[in-house]
């Protein structure tokens, strides 16, 4: 495995930190030491990257070979797979990239113009006439909108957006740069949309409190 050496190193670090390290990292508890928490986060990040290339069974067998208990290995892989929801959902984008980068850029642009920056009724459904699965396109659009809100609400720079998109989508840098540029070009409108949505959410929460 490409990241096998790194995984082995992290496991050794955790073993040195605490005897019951498997129990500590497998459970969602808040009483881990800062050092253990750092190693745990590193392990999940590397498992996540490895699972993009290798099958779950291969990673599972590697963890067992490193002396990890079956239950612990199963829990860690299950969580790492859960962390790959966005990556797996963008499968269509990676397929388009491998076939024709211009079609990918066209899809990204259409989703932004018809569903994120502005709204066009049945805008996404029109894409199904081009051969795309409607449910998959809708799911991709929703995740694109989520990432956009995340970047805009935290004032990500273009460089930081590209870095995160590379990790979340698995797309080439040039296509992540194109995606980031779509956000940059519409940044003020996206920021305003986010603020209005947040104000609406706060108003609803206040209304519920008053009831």
The pLDDT assigned to 1 comes to 75
Percent of the chain residues topping a pLDDT of 90 = 59
Would you list the domain boundaries of the chain? 4-83, 87-206
Condensed to tens digits (0 to 9), the pLDDT of residues 112-149 reads: 998 899 888 777 776 665 677 888 888 999 999 999 99
For the residues 10-25, what does the mean pLDDT come to? 87
Percent of the chain residues topping a pLDDT of 70 = 95
Condensed to tens digits (0 to 9), the pLDDT of residues 39-93 reads: 989 999 999 999 998 889 999 999 999 999 999 999 999 999 999 999 999 999 9
136 or 28, higher pLDDT: 136
- Helix runs in the chain, H state only: 4-17, 21-26, 34-51, 56-65, 70-82, 85-89, 91-99, 101-111, 123-128, 134-153, 158-169, 173-185, 187-210
Query: To the nearest whole number, what is the mean pLDDT of the chain?
Result: 89
Check residue 142 and give left, alpha or beta (phi > 0: left; psi -120 to 50: alpha): alpha
> For residue 116, what is the DSSP state?
I
Q: Is 68 helix (H, G, I), strand (E, B) or coil?
A: coil
Torsion of CA 63, 69, 70, 71, to 10 degrees: -120
Interatomic CA distance for residues 69 and 67, integer angstroms: 7
The pLDDT assigned to 129 comes to 53
Confidence of residue 18 (pLDDT cuts 50, 70, 90): confident
Instruction: Tell me the whole-structure pTM to 2 decimals.
Output: 0.81
The values of phi and psi at residue 31, to 5°, are -100, 20
The pLDDT assigned to 130 comes to 65
**Terminal alpha carbon distance of the chain:** 57
């Amino acid at each position: 495995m490409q990241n096998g050496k790194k995984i082995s190193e992290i496991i050794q670090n955790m073993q040195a930190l605490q005897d019951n390290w498997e129990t500590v990292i497998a459970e969602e508890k808040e009483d881990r030491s800062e050092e253990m928490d750092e190693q745990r986060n590193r392990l999940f990040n590397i498992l996540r990257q490895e699972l993009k290339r290798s099958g779950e069974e291969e990673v599972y067998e590697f963890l067992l070979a490193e002396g990890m208990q079956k239950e612990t290995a199963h829990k860690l892989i299950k969580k790492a797979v859960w962390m790959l929801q966005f990556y797996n959902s963008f499968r269509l984008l990676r397929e388009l990239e491998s076939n024709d980068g211009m079609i990918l850029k066209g899809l990204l642009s259409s989703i932004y113009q018809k569903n994120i920056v502005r709204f066009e009724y049945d805008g996404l459904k029109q894409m199904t006439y081009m051969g795309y699965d409607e449910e998959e396109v809708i799911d991709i659009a929703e995740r694109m909108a989520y990432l956009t809100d995340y970047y805009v609400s935290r004032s990500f720079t273009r460089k930081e957006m590209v870095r995160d998109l590379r990790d979340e989508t698995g797309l080439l840098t040039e296509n992540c740069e194109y995606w980031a540029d779509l956000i940059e070009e519409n940044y003020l409108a996206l920021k305003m949309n986010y603020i209005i949505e947040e104000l609406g959410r706060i108003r609803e929460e206040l209304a519920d409190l008053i009831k």
